[in-house]
Amino acid sequence: MPKHGKNYRNKIVGLDRTALLSVEEGVKQVLASSYAKFDETFDIAIKLGVDPRHADQMIRSSVVLPHGTGKVTRVLVFAKGEKEAEAREAGADFVGSDELVEKIQGGWLEFDKTVATPDMMGVVGRIGRVLGPRNLMPNAKLGTVTFDLANVIKDIKGGKVDFRVDKAGIVHAGIGKVSFGETKILENVTTFIEKIIQLKPSTSKGIYLRALTVSSTMSPGFKVDPLDARALIK
């Protein structure tokens, strides 16, 4: 059993963590259980009724949260010519082509998201083995391979979250900061769950939302009733 500190133990005294809570009550419990001196991330984990071994049940997408994530995201864009100027004007932190590839090949990785215009993917492919394992490779399915740089950069800076189901059928995501407060966190949670429901594969049979847990960086996890989550969306 993992050992927890005094602050953690004090926060869980009297809590029934086996109970299925409403989404709203789950958010309240997480915020009430936060104790760290830094601004903790609010996390959500959803167990889905899918088999990720089948390509048609692989859940991978992104969603723009109404209140963002609270995280400053450094965006790197691979582009040339007019698109390079567009990316800079839209607020990209780093923009370029071959020179950025060489820099990354040298070990530089001080960015959080990458975007590329379609004509640059041949160049980007040279560093696929570096970017791929770190989930930094531009991906058309996530909207990060595009000529519409201004809107994509705006979404990423505004709180776009990429997510994918893991081998166990669970989707994890950080969807805000404890300092957001209950109302904003609840709206972010609702938006995220709504997106997950929209992505239900037609080949997924039986119960789709099987389990849902909310927590913060340092707080315990609290179980949320999936039925309440579905009702909240409706």
pLDDT tens digits, 62-99:
999 999 999 889 999 999 999 999 999 999 999 999 99
Q: Which two tokens stand for residue 171?
A: 């989707």
- Contact of 165 with 58, CB cutoff 8 Å: yes
pLDDT at 231 over 90: no
pLDDT tens digits, 146-204:
999 999 999 999 889 999 999 999 999 999 999 999 999 999 999 999 999 999 999 98
Element (H, E) at 48: strand 41-48
Mean pLDDT lowest for which of 7-21, 105-119, 121-135? 7-21
Give 205's pLDDT tier (boundaries 50, 70, 90): confident
Q: Which CATH superfamily is domain 17-69+160-233 in?
A: Ribosomal protein L1/L10, rRNA-binding domain (3.30.190.20)
> Which among 226, 175, 166, 190 has a CA at the least distance from the CA of 44?
175
The single residue listed with the structure tokens 């239900």 is 200
Residue 220 burial (10 A CB sphere; 0-12, 13-18, 19+): middle
For 91-132, the DSSP string reads T-SEEESHHHHHHHHTT----SEEEE-GGGHHHHGGGHHHHG
Phi/psi of residue 65, each to 5°? -80, 140
Q: What is the pLDDT of residue 177?
A: 96
Q: Which of 30-34, 107-111, 202-206 has the highest mean pLDDT?
A: 107-111
- Contact of 46 with 175, CB cutoff 8 Å: no
Q: What is the pLDDT of residue 1?
A: 45
**Interatomic CA distance for residues 46 and 194, integer angstroms:** 12
pLDDT at 229 over 60: yes
The domain segmentation of the chain, as residue ranges, is 17-69+160-233, 75-157
CATH code assigned to 75-157 = 3.40.50.790
Q: What is the pLDDT of residue 4?
A: 58
The length of the chain is 234
Residues with Cβ within 8 Å of residue 125, at least 6 apart in sequence: none
pLDDT tens digits, 117-148:
999 999 999 999 999 999 999 999 889 999 99
